Structure 1
Amino acid sequence: MNTETLTASEPSSRQAHRISAADAADMLLRHMDGVLPALAVFDVRDENSYHAAHIDAAVRLAEATFPQQIRGLNRATPVLIYCYHGNASRTWAQWFADFRVPEVYSVDGGYPAFSDALATRRAGQQGTPVAGMDARADLLAFLQTHGFDPFDLNAPRQHGLTALMRAALAGHEGVVDALLACGADISRRNMDGNNALWLACVSGNAAIVRRLVQAGIDIDNRNDMGATCLMYAASAGKAEMVALLLECGADPQVLNFDDARAVDLAATRSCLQLLRHTIG
């Protein structure tokens, strides 16, 4: 099998069994945090390269060991595969897909990109500042009520929700402000791949949506189904939220993994009218 004949010229797409290094790092860290229950990571580089350095929890995969690995794999387990530069791993991903593994992804950029993305994410998770928390009785009460760790504001709880996500979902503007002031990580995603902005859209709290956007949250984050907040708001018939997200800069041309845009998912005439300019 010539596994280095493919190129990485097409845009990254989970539908094509590809994933960006940043998204792969996010999946691995969510798995290590216990948010994503199962994940298999395979390294298809040569043995010397693997032993010199590899991604945490990665198992080396070769043609000789593939039959054993595929037999022992629960088909419901998401699979990440990386190689040197992101070319050979795409062929391997297709092999897994041919064996009816539904969620298998080749990591764009290979080991260097994956390793760098992990290092960046881990650096962002360390040293969460908690200074000033003792002056916020409402924040401490919220953390205690919901069982969050006051010394690790980013530690996930049920369904992978962080304190920031839970506060956004509950519509607690003051707690959201306090968490942002204390350095809560806005890049965290729950077990479905949604960030705190999605939870704010669920609650319908416009003030929290604006605060999170101003803090720099990824307004076009695609969850594990490829859906953005704008897609959710459109499909849920939340016209006011659709208008707000568009005002805040949400991209209506983003595609989900079924190649659908927000306009294609609009559940009401009012949402469709707001997104009609994206048709074409």
Structure 2
Amino acid sequence: MPTPPFQHLTIDTLTAWLDAETALTLVDIRDSGSFGAGHIPGSRHLDNDSVPALLEAAPREQPLVVVCYHGHSSQQAAAWLAGQGFAEVYSLDGGFTEWEYRLPERVERGRP
């Protein structure tokens, strides 16, 4: 069985990376209403319309973290993005739902 082209990332690891100000690209693939209601600070909303801009601007050499609702659909998006030449692609285990449950003080409300 082939190894998936992305890795799983725990909330604890992402928190440590953000606290250390690790250079990374953080994308949220939930619908725009959900993203506007709350998202991880520093993340950008990614949908079909914004994918070309991401592919053009995001550094391929730094980690790319994909966030969805529960950590399931982000795996498919992460696999696709890994195929676009990003060196390190991660799917956030538990997704935004788990992030918000565990770290409600680290949720940004409204559009960044």
Could you say which structure has the higher helix fraction? 1
Q: Name the counterpart of 1:103.
A: 88
The alignment partner of 1:54 has SS state of coil
Q: Name the counterpart of 2:110.
A: none
**TM-score normalised per structure 1:** 0.34
Question: Which of residues 15, 18, 29 is equivalent to 1:28?
Answer: 18
Q: Name the counterpart of 2:67.
A: 82
Deviation at 1:115, TM superposition (A): 3.2
Could you say which structure has the higher strand fraction? 2
Deviation at 1:96, TM superposition (A): 1.4
> Which consecutive unaligned segments of at least 5 residues does structure 1 have?
1-13, 123-280
| Greater Cα radius of gyration, structure 1 or 2 | 1
Q: Name the counterpart of 2:50.
A: 65
CA distance in 1, matches of 2:33, 2:66: 17
Question: Which of residues 19, 26, 31 is equivalent to 2:9?
Answer: 19
Percent of pairs with identical residues? 30
The 3 A distance-change label for structure 1 pair 91 and 15 is closer
The alignment partner of 2:20 has SS state of helix
Deviation at 1:19, TM superposition (A): 0.9
Quick check: 1:75–1:100 contact (8 Å CA) kept in 2? yes
CA distance in 1, matches of 2:104, 2:37: 17
RMSD over aligned CA atoms reads: 2.3
Question: Which of residues 30, 36, 40 is equivalent to 1:55?
Answer: 40
Quick check: 2:29–2:47 contact (8 Å CA) kept in 1? yes
Tell me if 1:91 matches 2:81. no
The 3 A distance-change label for structure 1 pair 28 and 48 is same
Q: Name the counterpart of 1:138.
A: none
Q: Which amino acid aligns with 2:24?
A: L
Quick check: 1:45–1:60 contact (8 Å CA) kept in 2? yes
> Which consecutive unaligned segments of at least 5 residues does structure 2 have?
107-112
Deviation at 1:61, TM superposition (A): 0.2
CA distance in 2, matches of 1:99, 1:16: 12
More RCO (CA 8 Å, sep 6+): 2
C-alpha offsets along residues 215-248 of structure 1, whole Å, 9 cap, x if unaligned? xxxxxxxxxxxxxxxxxxxxxxxxxxxxxxxxxx
**TM-score normalised per structure 2:** 0.81
Alignment of 1:237-252 (within 5 A): none
